[in-house]
Amino acid sequence: MSVVAIDQVHKRYGALEVLKGVSLTVDAGQVVAVIGRSGSGKSTMLRCVNGLEQFQAGSITVAGHKVEQDQAKLRELRKDVGIVFQSYNLFPHLTVGQNITLSPRITQGVGHEEAEALARKVLAQVGLSEKFDAYPDMLSGGQQQRVAIARSLAMRPKVMLFDEVTSALDPELTGEVLLVMEQLAKEGMTMLLVTHEMNFARSVADVTVFMHQGKIWEMGPSKELFEQPKTPELQAFISGGVK
């Protein structure tokens, strides 16, 4: 069953068409990686899925929610959809535990004790149990990104979106974040991720999507896509872009 259904989506900024009729489905428990050069429309598509960008044509349904520019409906959508960005966006004046419990308490009405237990559980999931009382500036970039993932997990989402979450990290810290994401995949989390990490896409994602010039140029089972690219554009991208 499809948790994410993107159907013929068009997105324009003025005269510039960034998405040119994109269609994609993500099934429950599936990990779908989106690759492609900068400017190909990857992040724009992801932001449309969460209602952060308004699209002009087509439709998107996520976890039973039709994505529309209606604030009440968007609030309901975002209870089921977690998103983690390149920048961690943690509140510097709050502890790690407070950063994580904030949304469940405000948006879901979770009580203080339940929220704290939930925060400790998701911190353990990302390997940071001992950081509950730490402040963000006491953490490395990789640890901050793992807290950002934990914060999304605390909302108990049905699907997780990741937008280039490792691109601001050095290789060692990148590895620790990717391990957390790999573990989430093993636990059956439905994930749609935009990434430059080709090896991660090839080994962890069930399906890889190659975007080019605002379109889905090629897609298929990850190993197959990387081993037998069908278009010269993907061949060129893989030969020049594998990390």
Please say if the pLDDT value at position 240 is more than 90: no
Whether residue 6 lies inside any domain: the answer is yes
Whether residue 113 lies inside any domain: the answer is no
Domain count of the chain? 1
Please say if the pLDDT value at position 243 is more than 50: no
Q: What gap in Å lies between CA 30 and CA 191, rounded to an integer?
A: 6
Contacts of 199 (CB under 8 A, 6+ apart): 242, 243
Quick: pLDDT tens for 21-57.
999 999 999 999 999 999 999 999 999 999 999 999 9
Please say if the pLDDT value at position 66 is more than 90: yes
For residue 212, the enclosing domain spans 2-90+158-241
Average pLDDT over residues 200-221: 96
H or E segment and range at residue 11: strand 2-13
Please say if the pLDDT value at position 242 is more than 80: no
Quick: pLDDT tens for 128-155.
999 999 999 999 999 999 999 999 999 9
Please say if the pLDDT value at position 241 is more than 60: no
pTM as predicted:
0.92
Quick: pLDDT tens for 78-137.
889 999 998 888 999 999 999 999 989 988 888 999 999 999 999 999 999 999 999 999
Contacts of 29 (CB under 8 A, 6+ apart): 188, 189, 190
Whether residue 168 lies inside any domain: the answer is yes
Q: Domain of 220: which CATH number?
A: 3.40.50.300
Whether residue 208 lies inside any domain: the answer is yes
Count of C-beta atoms within a 10 Å radius of residue 56:
10
Which DSSP state fits 90? Answer: -
Whether residue 228 lies inside any domain: the answer is yes
Q: Report the chain's mean pLDDT, rounded to a whole number.
A: 93
**pLDDT band, very low/low/confident/very high, at 60 (cuts 50, 70, 90):** very high
Q: What gap in Å lies between CA 239 and CA 226, rounded to an integer?
A: 10
